Chains A and B, each alone.
Chain A
Amino acid sequence: NAGVTQTPKFRVLKTGQSMTLLCAQDMNHEYMYWYRQDPGMGLRLIHYSVGEGTTAKGEVPDGYNVSRLKKQNFLLGLESAAPSQTSVYFCASIKASSYNEQFFGPGTRLTVL
């Protein structure tokens, strides 16, 4: 099993450009999450999904959109990138029952110039 994978690993954007980050998991997990990690700020939840076709806002959703058309994929979109969105983005997934480990992807380092 590959676990949780993320594409791309690195990306540099100019202000105003758009892009989509892809998260894929092969563990048949129901729940998936997108976080951003900034120095000294820990992991902050952007959006999450509890199942195919459902999404919900997390702590810092502004400027991002998500879609979960297939159970194994969770996409994070930036429609008009801003320098404040420079960060490391982590995807995670978990099986839908109590006390299960949340598995993280390797991360995507995004720089917006």
Chain B
Amino acid sequence: GENVEQHPSTLSVQEGDSAVIKCTYSDSASNYFPWYKQELGKRPQLIIDIRSNVGEKKDQRIAVTLNKTAKHFSLHITETQPEDSAVYFCAEREQGGSEKLVFGKGTKLTVNP
């Protein structure tokens, strides 16, 4: 089945620095890649997504890039703030019509004031 590798598992940055989280996927037919943010004790929430016909997408301080040839995609957070501290999950959508997502194991981001 599909597999998503996510790195690093933990990331600590100083406030104002940038943070980058990388994911690789196995299914070359995958065409949708969302990113979810989960704050402590809360539910995962979608923060940004990208489709396979786009190489980059930005939303304020957050951007996602996709390299279909290499089968990897990355989340970039600029000017990090303490409220960015959370666990971030990447995912790929399986083909087949069920809209199933395969998640990476998560990255715990800590932004130090």
Contact = CB atoms under 8 A, between A and B. Distances in A.
Given A31-B98, A48-B98, A102-B34, A41 B105 contact: yes
Interface string A35-63: 00000111111001010000010110000
B1 A59 contact: yes
Interface stretch (B14-22, B44-52, B61-69, B76-84): B44-52
Contacts of B101: 45, 102
Interface residues of A, number: 25
B98 A43 contact: no
Contacts, number: 50
B89 A45 contact: no
Contacts of A43: 44, 89, 103
Interface string B85-113: 00001000000011111111110000000
Contacts of B34: 101-102
A104 B45 contact: yes
B43 A104 contact: yes
A56 to B, nearest CB: 7
